[in-house]
Amino acid sequence: MVFARKRFGQNFLHDEGVIERIVSAIGPSPQDALVEIGPGHGALTEPLLERAGRLDAIEIDRDLAATLQERFAGRGLTLHVADALRFDFAALALQRGRKLRVVGNLPYNVSTPLLFHLLEAHGAIEDLHIMLQREVIARICAAPGSDDYGRLTVMLAPWVVAEALFEVGPGAFRPAPKVWSAVARLTVRAAPAFPVDARFARVVAAAFSQRRKTLRNGLRALLDAAAIERCGVDPGARPETLTPAQFAALAQALPSS
């Protein structure tokens, strides 16, 4: 029986077809500085190591880490027994002398903070291949105007180009989760798509906390209708219809704090 710790979001991949699809989508090569978050029992670690010859992995669970150390001894695995939420990705990229390619069947319970932590090190990361709950991948990759488009989509947009790749059913994991999963590729932009500072997060959070309201009402505490209009945005529009660049324009209209 697979012993899974609930608090670490442990659902282990066992479907060889799904594992192969993920690894093919990544296309690992020996030149890459691959980093796997949450290797678990090594379902992805094994084929990644086979193709890249070297891999850094970050695992929070000491028992799993001990088993992995033993299994992959002398095979190019550098295991960091650590919390990925506190891991210094920029330092690792410096150490490896190149940008990181991050891979993870991520613990769903920490997915959003983990993505934001990773993007704080955006200059150190080339791309991310992530598996998450299907609904979260849909939100990350959504187009303006769709139901899934929201705060998460817009907050990631300056930093990455997000591409949903494929869905994975619960049967691919042990124990089987209650939800479907999906895999996405996030390619980190060489430079942010538009200038972003703390005001961007404020405007996006305010707009989407009142999703059903028009911008005129949702942003009332930050900008009046005339100021919204001066940014080339219709104050009567709903937040999900705005592009990320339009949110950036609204943010620029706020006083800098």
Residues that bind ligand SAM (CB under 6 A): 8-13, 37-41, 43-44, 58-61, 64, 83-85, 105, 107, 110
CB 53 within 8 A of CB 30: yes
Say whether 160 sits in a helix, a strand or coil.
strand
Is the Cβ of residue 107 or residue 218 nearer to ligand SAM in the bound state?
107
Which among 123, 157, 131 has a CA at the least distance from the CA of 37?
A: 131
Is the Cβ of residue 51 or residue 202 nearer to ligand SAM in the bound state?
51
Q: Provide, rounded to whole angstroms, the least separation between the CB of residue 103 and ligand SAM.
A: 9
Is the Cβ of residue 107 or residue 235 nearer to ligand SAM in the bound state?
107
Q: Provide, rounded to whole angstroms, the least separation between the CB of residue 167 and ligand SAM.
A: 15
Is the Cβ of residue 89 or residue 149 nearer to ligand SAM in the bound state?
89
Q: Provide, rounded to whole angstroms, the least separation between the CB of residue 147 and ligand SAM.
A: 26
Residue 29 carries which side chain, given as an amino acid letter? Answer: S
Q: Provide, rounded to whole angstroms, the least separation between the CB of residue 108 and ligand SAM.
A: 7
- Measured CA to CA, the distance from residue 222 to residue 257 in angstroms comes to 12
- Measured CA to CA, the distance from residue 185 to residue 137 in angstroms comes to 10
Is the Cβ of residue 48 or residue 186 nearer to ligand SAM in the bound state?
48
Which among 222, 193, 197, 194 has a CA at the least distance from the CA of 207?
A: 222
Q: Provide, rounded to whole angstroms, the least separation between the CB of residue 45 and ligand SAM.
A: 7
Beta-ladder partners of 81? 59
